[in-house]
Amino acid sequence: MPRTVSEELDRVRLEREELELEDLRERVQARREQRERIARDRERSVAEFKKNQWILKNRQARCKHRKGGKDNRFADGNSQNYSIITNTYPTGKVVISCTRCWKEVERPDPKTKKTDPDYPAKLAEWNEWSRYPTDNTPSGTKTHEIVPAA
């Protein structure tokens, strides 16, 4: 039986709408999968970050912060000198860092003495680290010096 133009047009419209619906469902599914993938990647990144922080903290806890040692065993330094360096950043922040385990000890801000319950411990650690003997040269913020021409 021959179809009328109107029937054929209705059939084509219905087919187009079915295809559009299928495309829409596929896009929704793809977006859901992408969100799930992003969430999994984020969870994996957070877990890896926590693992690396744990490894770093353990390494810092084992480190003697001293130079020397054999067989490239960073934590077993046996020199009288410590493997530390004092850095002064452009902001004025002063930090002492171990060049073996990357632990940083920041000079506590005296303004926080009354508000920071950890201030005494931070100050004690700073004082201890600042007394460590080292033959390393402190860094500073001066990168250029302008001198008058002779």
Confidence at 80, pLDDT banded by 50, 70, 90:
confident
Model-wide pTM > 0.85: no
123-131 contact pairs (CB < 8 A, 24+): 126/96, 129/84, 129/96, 129/105, 130/86, 130/96
* pLDDT value of position 139: 66
Least confident of 11-15, 76-80, 138-142: 138-142
Confidence at 66, pLDDT banded by 50, 70, 90:
confident
H-run or E-run covering 121: helix 119-130
pLDDT in tens, 81-137: 888 998 888 888 889 999 888 899 999 988 999 999 999 999 999 999 999 988 877
Q: How many CB atoms lie within 10 A of CB 77?
A: 19
What whole-number distance in Å separates Cα of residue 146 and Cα of residue 150? 12
> Cβ distance 61 to 74 under 8 Å?
no
Least confident of 60-64, 79-83, 144-148: 144-148
Is pLDDT at 23 greater than 90 in this prediction?
A: yes
